[in-house]
Amino acid sequence: MNWVVATANAHKLRELSDLFGGLGVTLLPRPDELAMPEETGTTFLANARLKARAIAQATGEVALADDSGLEVDALGGEPGVRSARWAGEPGDDAANNAKLLEELRGIHGANRRARYRCVLVLAAPDGRELTAEGRFEGFVLEAPRGTGGFGYDPLFQPEGDTRTLAEYADAEKNAVSHRGRAARRLREMLERLGRTAP
How many helices (DSSP H) and strands (DSSP E) are in the chain?
Answer: 5, 6
What are phi and psi for residue 20, nearest 5 degrees? -105, 10
The residue from 67, 73, 93, 170 that is catalytic is 67
Identify the CA nearest to 120 among candidates 8, 20, 11, 33: 20
- Tell me the C-alpha to C-alpha distance, in Å, between residue 101 and each of 96, 139, 157, 168: 9, 12, 14, 21
Q: How far apart are CA 80 and CA 84, in angstroms?
A: 9
Residue 67 appears among annotated catalytic residues: yes
Catalytically annotated residues: 67
